[in-house]
A and B are shown apart, each in its own frame.
Chain A
Amino acid sequence: MLGFMDYIQRAFYDATHWNIDNSYGSLTATAQNLLDFDTPRGLRLNVSSLASPQMGTSYAVGTVGLVDGSISYLYSSLPLSKSSKSTEIQLEEVIQGYRHLQDLRTPDQSWWWERWQGGRRTDRKNTLMYGRMFLPRGTLEALYLRRISPTRQLRLSCVSDSALNNGGTVLGLVQNDHGKYCTEYLYSTDSGLCGIRGLYNFGPDPRIAAQDQESDDMREPVHGRFSAGAELYYGILNKSGGASLGLRFTTLPQHAGFPYTMTLTLNPLMGNLSSTYAVKAGRNLALCSRFNFNFYSYESDFQLGCELWRRQVPNDADIAWAKNKIRPEWIDGSASPTDDVSGVLKARVDQDWRIGLLWEGRFKEMLFTLGGLIDLKRRERIVGAIGVEFQYSS
């Protein structure tokens, strides 16, 4: 489940029309959501509030043996209209599951953002700032996010921690999203790591499609999207590098059958090959599998995961008498569940019978996450880390 601050960040992305799915980094987002979910440890409590549309605070207290916590503040220059109350937050927006990709969105024209007043330009670039202090350790996290242009975004994330070399690290990331393709350049002060990432979407270019709108009817609708990307890293100080290639095919909403996503990533340097296949088998069910193989060391592993959504059955007992009286034959229709989600169960298992379970939902006015790890191979301690996390926001 997304934390409150992540949720607000997503709201900022939405408000600034930034497509987080159109990035090489999120190529395997579906598989990661279904297979690599984090299970909470211990007891954790988050209290958050979006006091004004531009300012948010969040406090967290947790205990895993010893008590720790964090304080975080967020400022956004763009007023965020997303509802922040934990009673009103849509679970689909905070629970990360199968990512059903939408059609590519045409990037905003830069002049759309211009705002003139009295012959002078008054618009400002939207900025989000976020800071988080972990209390016992004194670790400080900071994030600076700036929409430089409709197709460009700057992201600076910093961590200050005495345990780190040089006392901290800064990561700068410039992202360009042109819809059809996306490029990212990053630099990390730690060991001078430079990186470049790119993603190219095959198929119609959304920018051109937007221009000749009238010809849209002539073409047959696109059912899927094929994307290819690559990343390359090089650490200047430690003179080491890394690279990977990735392919993805995913169905679009126009697809008639089950939505599914297939990815294939390859690390040519390390000989690692990873393929995932995820399918949304029903409205409430998604399945995913992943197979890793290393053709240098012949190591392989296999993981399976699923998520099951539980929808609320509408509680219309108060109007049932009226229905029964007026339209008795409507009984079937009224029993069908609504779109409101009451909870999601996620499970994963790998070839070593390590099982991860996660139950996310809403309890009273709080969002909760309950999870644990089970290792069937270890007889002496089958149940591993178990945790509960509560989130309350207003």
Chain B
Amino acid sequence: MAFNFNWSPLIADTTRAKDMLTAALNKSPKPPIIVDDIIVTELNLGSIPPELEILEIGDLAEDRFRGIFKMSYTGDAFLTLKTRVQANPLNTYLSTKPSFASPQPLAAASSLTIPLSITLSDFRLSGFVILVFSRQKGLTLVFRNDPLESLKVSSTFDSIPFVRDYLQKEIEGQLRVLFMEDLPAILHRLSLRLFVPDYQEMEEQHAPAIRGANTVDPLYNPAQDPIDNAGNALDEGDLAGWSLDSAETHASFSNKNILRLAALAESQKTLSLFTPSIQGAVFRAWAGAAERAESSGLQSPTLTRSALSRVQSTLSTTSLSAPSISEGSDTGTTASRPSISGASSIYSGLGLGGGRSRNSNRKRKKRVINLRKDKTDDCTTPETPITPLATPSSAPALSQDDDLSLTLRPVHRNVHFNAKPTSLDVFDNQGPSRQTSTPSHEDSTPTYTQAPVPFAPQVLHHPKPTTSSRTPLLQTTSLDRYPSSSSPTLLASPSIAEVSMSNLASTGGILEQAWMMKMAKEIARKVAEERERSRSPDEGSARPPLRRAGDGKAVQAAWDRERKRSDEGASEAPPAYVA
């Protein structure tokens, strides 16, 4: 792992930094001795960069970073300020006192303002810096301790030792405040301004997780280039007519629709207590939840707990947080089994989700890579080859479930990738999660332990044929897994969290989803043809889910008024699945 800190561009453009520094200096109420605005006339960061020693990296992704540095700086940066000061101490003294009890001198308090220019140079800084960067939230830099060791203050009053000492003392004090309080704020704003287009884009999309993987969520956005099932391009007029209302086809989901679906699934969730748990059957409520989790990337606490954490607990005893990234990196190195490495990345995402769902959604945010403890991590890595075994269990499960667990998902895939079979395959990874999750909701432990174990062997057999074609792709996209794996933290955005509250079948998680989509895109082209040939009946099976969705939509329309109908919709679901 290497970092490239580029110091020279920072030197180039300091005008904006000067402006912001000026604004920051004038924002806070100034001491009465300063009677004019403080203007930063010169700001030079110097040619010598600060020395950074990485102590700890808590979170690392393409768009996010979190780490602790030890910084020491002995460079040649300098800063020149210009302002005017009140030279009469009596004047400043009286200006802060109530006039009632002031001695009201006649002329002794007359003002004498003196232009003052201060040059700060020879900064000696050393301290611990906590740097948190995220593409949406900008850059946060916090000094853990007081970084200022010494600096040289030269001013107009250097010839007067008393004034010089006073200024030195005052400015050091002010700079300490600046470093500890103002500088983080300035940097934050600066970074926000730098990333503001991204930031705005983010806000528009409302789906920050997916952004990291550079994919478009079909459920939240109208299809980018919509096509129908036959692969013909659609124009916007057609698109407008396509909503969930029309039972036949829907190639695009609007944000509103997805919210409705979420609400529907949730309502079903709430009533799920009254639905009998049938082994081997997937209820529509669960299916909807699974789908939504996949789309929104939010993980349901209940499901993930059962499905994921169990898997992990059974298979690996390592802590939930630590191995996640190390696994990813290690699997990249295990070139012998690329297919599994992909699976393991999924798994890591799953593990993440499980760990997170255990606490509140927000809590488990960081995975810590302590660079100092590389050796201890290595000890854990040997387990990783084992862990992949668990996750693939999901993939083969699909093959079983293919007929049962036909949901809306294949449809989206159709829209998106124009390659149904692969998309099905990809999504089928979630099959087991559904399966395991349904029972686990009622009582997680018993069904749970059974489920993953039998599947595990299948995994080994099944994915190989499909992934054999993937292997090169995996290598190329190995980096992309980082953002996708990290995306869960981004996901916690409240808007989504509000919608999808509790239990979404989250086996996929965003990680899986994001990665899937990426993979699927690339695989689609190659695998599509042969798969399509072999699995042509699946196309027919893909239709039913659409109708079901239509039913769900109809139910949803009435959902606000009466919840019974949604229940009804749920009861209708099983037949649809069978079909």
- On whether the beta carbons of B108 and A231 are closer than 8 Å, the reply is yes
Contact of A270 among B88, B100, B101 (CB under 8 A): B88
Most A CB within 10 A of own CB, among B89, B108, B113, B114: B108
- On whether the beta carbons of B109 and A169 are closer than 8 Å, the reply is no
Provide the A40-80 mask, 1 if CB < 8 A to any CB of B, else 0: 00000000000000000000000000000000000000000
A228-243 at interface with B (beta carbon < 8 Å): 229, 231-233, 235, 238, 240-243
Contact of A139 among B98, B108, B111, B113 (CB under 8 A): B98
- On whether the beta carbons of B108 and A193 are closer than 8 Å, the reply is no
Most B CB within 10 A of own CB, among A25, A267, A274: A267
A12-31 at interface with B (beta carbon < 8 Å): 24-25, 27-28
- With A233-B105, A265-B106, A266-B107 known as contacts, the answer to whether A241 contacts B90 (CB < 8 A) is yes
Bound-state CA distance A164–B88 (Å) is 21
Residues of the B chain whose Cβ atoms lie less than 8 Å from the Cβ of A158: 101
- With A235-B89, A238-B89 known as contacts, the answer to whether A159 contacts B101 (CB < 8 A) is yes
- With A242-B89, A271-B112 known as contacts, the answer to whether A24 contacts B106 (CB < 8 A) is yes
Q: Does A191 contact B (CB under 8 A)?
A: yes
Which chain B residue has the least Cβ–Cβ distance from A187? B103
- On whether the beta carbons of A171 and B103 are closer than 8 Å, the reply is yes
- On whether the beta carbons of A25 and B98 are closer than 8 Å, the reply is no
Contact of B112 among A139, A164, A297 (CB under 8 A): A297
Bound-state CA distance A193–B108 (Å) is 13
- With A159-B98, A171-B102, A296-B112 known as contacts, the answer to whether A272 contacts B107 (CB < 8 A) is yes
Residues of the B chain whose Cβ atoms lie less than 8 Å from the Cβ of A171: 101-103
Q: Does A195 contact B (CB under 8 A)?
A: yes
Bound-state CA distance A296–B98 (Å) is 29
Q: Does B7 contact A (CB under 8 A)?
A: no
Bound-state CA distance A276–B88 (Å) is 22
Q: Does B110 contact A (CB under 8 A)?
A: yes
Bound-state CA distance A292–B113 (Å) is 13
- On whether the beta carbons of B107 and A267 are closer than 8 Å, the reply is yes
Q: Does B450 contact A (CB under 8 A)?
A: no
Residues of the A chain whose Cβ atoms lie less than 8 Å from the Cβ of B114: 296-297
Bound-state CA distance A393–B107 (Å) is 35
Most A CB within 10 A of own CB, among B107, B108, B114: B107
- On whether the beta carbons of A265 and B107 are closer than 8 Å, the reply is yes
Interface size on A, residues (CB 8 A): 49
Q: Does A87 contact B (CB under 8 A)?
A: no
Residues of the A chain whose Cβ atoms lie less than 8 Å from the Cβ of B336: none
Bound-state CA distance A296–B113 (Å) is 9
Which chain B residue has the least Cβ–Cβ distance from A24? B106
When A and B form their complex, what is the total count of cross-chain residue pairs whose Cβ atoms lie within 8 Å? 105
Bound-state CA distance A183–B98 (Å) is 24
Contact of A246 among B87, B98, B100, B107 (CB under 8 A): B107
Q: Does B97 contact A (CB under 8 A)?
A: yes
- On whether the beta carbons of A233 and B113 are closer than 8 Å, the reply is no
Q: Does A244 contact B (CB under 8 A)?
A: yes
Bound-state CA distance A270–B114 (Å) is 11
B79-137 at interface with A (beta carbon < 8 Å): 87-90, 93, 97-98, 100-114
Bound-state CA distance A25–B100 (Å) is 14
Residues of the A chain whose Cβ atoms lie less than 8 Å from the Cβ of B103: 171, 173, 186, 188, 193, 195, 233
- How far in angstroms is the closest Cβ of chain B from A72? 11
Contact of A244 among B102, B104, B106 (CB under 8 A): B106
Bound-state CA distance A50–B113 (Å) is 46
- With A161-B98, A190-B97, A240-B93 known as contacts, the answer to whether A272 contacts B105 (CB < 8 A) is no
Bound-state CA distance A139–B93 (Å) is 19
Q: Does A123 contact B (CB under 8 A)?
A: no
- How far in angstroms is the closest Cβ of chain B from A219? 32
Residues of the A chain whose Cβ atoms lie less than 8 Å from the Cβ of B89: 235, 238, 240-242
Which chain A residue has the least Cβ–Cβ distance from B98? A159
Which chain A residue has the least Cβ–Cβ distance from B87? A270
- With A159-B98, A270-B112, A271-B112 known as contacts, the answer to whether A242 contacts B90 (CB < 8 A) is yes
Residues of the A chain whose Cβ atoms lie less than 8 Å from the Cβ of B107: 231, 244-246, 265-267, 272, 274
Most B CB within 10 A of own CB, among A141, A238, A242: A242
- How far in angstroms is the closest Cβ of chain A from B124? 30
Bound-state CA distance A229–B108 (Å) is 12
Bound-state CA distance A141–B106 (Å) is 22
Bound-state CA distance A24–B106 (Å) is 7
Bound-state CA distance A323–B114 (Å) is 69
- How far in angstroms is the closest Cβ of chain B from A139? 7
Residues of the B chain whose Cβ atoms lie less than 8 Å from the Cβ of A24: 106
Q: Does A170 contact B (CB under 8 A)?
A: yes
Bound-state CA distance A160–B538 (Å) is 86
- On whether the beta carbons of A233 and B108 are closer than 8 Å, the reply is yes
Most A CB within 10 A of own CB, among B90, B102, B109: B90
A143-158 at interface with B (beta carbon < 8 Å): 143, 157-158
Contact of B90 among A159, A240, A245 (CB under 8 A): A240
Q: Does A299 contact B (CB under 8 A)?
A: yes
Bound-state CA distance A242–B90 (Å) is 6
Q: Does A126 contact B (CB under 8 A)?
A: no
- With A164-B98, A272-B112 known as contacts, the answer to whether A191 contacts B93 (CB < 8 A) is yes
Q: Does A9 contact B (CB under 8 A)?
A: no
- With A235-B93, A241-B90 known as contacts, the answer to whether A274 contacts B101 (CB < 8 A) is no
Contact of B113 among A169, A195, A229, A299 (CB under 8 A): A299
Residues of the B chain whose Cβ atoms lie less than 8 Å from the Cβ of A106: none
Bound-state CA distance A195–B103 (Å) is 8
- On whether the beta carbons of A270 and B106 are closer than 8 Å, the reply is no
Bound-state CA distance A170–B104 (Å) is 14
Residues of the A chain whose Cβ atoms lie less than 8 Å from the Cβ of B102: 171, 188
- How far in angstroms is the closest Cβ of chain B from A227? 12
- On whether the beta carbons of B100 and A157 are closer than 8 Å, the reply is yes
Bound-state CA distance A272–B108 (Å) is 9
A255-274 at interface with B (beta carbon < 8 Å): 265-267, 269-272, 274
Bound-state CA distance A186–B94 (Å) is 15
Bound-state CA distance A117–B108 (Å) is 48
- On whether the beta carbons of B101 and A188 are closer than 8 Å, the reply is yes
Which chain B residue has the least Cβ–Cβ distance from A186? B103
Provide the B57-98 mask, 1 if CB < 8 A to any CB of A, else 0: 000000000000000000000000000000111100100011
Bound-state CA distance A357–B363 (Å) is 63
Residues of the B chain whose Cβ atoms lie less than 8 Å from the Cβ of A170: 101
Residues of the B chain whose Cβ atoms lie less than 8 Å from the Cβ of A271: 112
- On whether the beta carbons of A27 and B106 are closer than 8 Å, the reply is yes
Bound-state CA distance A238–B100 (Å) is 21
List 15 A-B pairs, Cβ < 8 Å: A24-B106, A139-B98, A141-B98, A141-B100, A159-B100, A170-B101, A188-B102, A231-B108, A235-B89, A242-B90, A265-B106, A271-B112, A272-B110, A272-B112, A292-B110
Could you list which residues of chain A lie within 8 angstroms of chain B, going by C-beta atoms? 24-25, 27-28, 139, 141, 143, 157-159, 161, 164, 169-171, 173, 186, 188, 190-191, 193, 195, 197, 229, 231-233, 235, 238, 240-246, 265-267, 269-272, 274, 292, 294, 296-297, 299
**With contacts A28-B106, A164-B98, A244-B107 known, what are 20 further pairs, Cβ within 8 A?**
A25-B106, A157-B101, A170-B101, A171-B102, A191-B93, A195-B103, A232-B108, A233-B108, A235-B93, A238-B89, A242-B88, A242-B90, A242-B108, A244-B106, A244-B110, A270-B110, A272-B112, A274-B110, A294-B110, A297-B112
- Which 5 A-B residue pairs are closest in the complex by CB-CB distance? A240-B89, A242-B108, A244-B107, A242-B90, A272-B110
